Amino acid sequence: MDSGEKSLQGKCKSSVVITDVTEKKPILHASEKPYKCGICESAFTLKCNLKRHCKKFHGGKGDNCDLKVHTTTHNRDKRFKCDFCGSGFDYLSLLQRHSRMHTGEKPFKCSICDFASSRLFALKEHARKHTGEKPYECDICGFTTSMWSSMKRHSKIHTGEKPYKCDICGSSFTRSCTLKEHSRTHTGVKPYKCNICDSAFTRLTALKEHSRSHTGEKPFKCSICGFTCAKQRNLKRHSNVHTGVKPYKCDICGTLFTRFGELKKHTKRHTGEKPYKCNICGFTCSVLHKFNRHSRLHTDGKPFKCDICDSSFAFFSLLKQHTRKHTGEKLYKCDICDKAFTSSSNLTTHEKKHTGEQPFKCDICDSAFAFLSLLKQHTRKHTGEKPYKCDICESAFISSSYLKKHKRAHTE
């Protein structure tokens, strides 16, 4: 070993033994430091070292390196080449990390659960899910997260930045992967297929969620009441029951909702939009599940029968609700007066008596109502419309409840 080689090895702690050091390790031992601090005179070989320096000494400012200087990093000879795809890297560690993309190797394993990753950084971020640590905080709204990528994505909500645009319909997105998923709605490509049934999906997450319908797995658990579910968004929605948070507000009447879907459904009551129409009788409605329920009236699809009386229902949820009338069970309690009800819809109706809210106003007179159905019923008094007809006599009524009362007179 010559004198030049000895002196260099004395300074460098690298375990890599190389004959011609200056040729094989140009970046570690060269004087070139292209990443310069914009505030002080410090310079660095790696951009990550510059960022670390600026965060420590300048509060995160000054890490915007000169473009001309930066491009010199792309012109270097990258001696570590990938055998699979030919990509080049400055360091052996970067090549090793890259190679795991091809081999599928995941050496970094979580000691608590089955999670494994090809990168140590990903394991560290995952570990925070168990510890609850959320080191990244938004300066604008206080949002906290355990992942830096989540914080970057969140910040775009405030800036409105959506750099990824669809060439077909013009829709914009904050993430390239979301654009990729969106493009499949145009192409119809569904690359993720279920091994058990014939279902196929545009997103891997959708396939994973679907798979749980076969396995019965419910990995998401509420820490307060023990409620479990198969989808993370359902757990978030459930947590609002405990926190009382209702982030979605109606611009017309001010009603608050825990779910965006509920707000959309509610808005149609104001606009009068009814996109779902029955081909048989012309019935229209604003909500898909109500339309599906109506469709069963034509097919006589009421498979769920009451064991106590002769009633039958198109949906199991309606049978459960009906059964409570026999058992006297009232699960839904009012927070204000402790009155209890057999269904959540009855509770919602009752609660508006306390608030006095009446967002639905009559165009003809000054009457106002808590529900659109009551306004419709009232409007028929002005128009004279009586859509509910008795099949025994020729009487007609403005509401189904009046018709039911009338029918009892025939049976008594």
- Summarised one tens digit per residue, pLDDT across range 49-63 is 788 777 766 666 556
Q: Where in the chain is the domain with CATH 3.30.160.60?
A: 162-243
Judged on CB neighbours under 10 Å (0-12, 13-18, 19+), 59 is exposed
Predicted local distance difference test score (pLDDT) of residue 62: 58
Contact 98, 80 (CB under 8 A): no
The rounded distance, in Å, linking the Cα atoms of 121 and 129 is: 14
The structure's pTM equals 0.35
CB atoms within 10 A of CB 44: 19
- Above pLDDT 70, what percent of the chain? 85
Instruction: Please report which helix (H) or strand (E) contains residue 138, including its range.
Output: none
Residue 4 pLDDT > 60: no
| pLDDT tens-place string over residues 156-204 | 878 888 888 889 888 888 888 888 888 888 888 888 888 888 788 888 8
Q: Which residue in 334, 331, 302, 333 sits closest to 319, CA to CA?
A: 302
The rounded distance, in Å, linking the Cα atoms of 175 and 242 is: 32
| pLDDT tens-place string over residues 319-365 | 888 888 888 888 778 877 878 888 777 787 787 777 777 778 888 88
Predicted local distance difference test score (pLDDT) of residue 5: 39
3-state secondary structure 226-287: CCEECCHHHHHHHHHHHHCCCCEECCCCCCEECCHHHHHHHHHHHHCCCCEECCCCCCEECC
Predicted local distance difference test score (pLDDT) of residue 60: 64
Residue 83 pLDDT > 80: yes
φ, ψ of residue 338 to 5 degrees: the values are 65, 10
CATH number of 162-243: 3.30.160.60
Which two three-digit tokens encode residue 244? 């009382």
- Give the mean pLDDT of 8-27: 37
Predicted local distance difference test score (pLDDT) of residue 57: 67
Q: Which residues of 15-29 are buried (b: 16+ CB within 10 A; e: fewer)?
A: eeeeeebeeebebee
| pLDDT tens-place string over residues 360-396 | 888 888 888 877 778 888 888 888 888 888 888 888 8
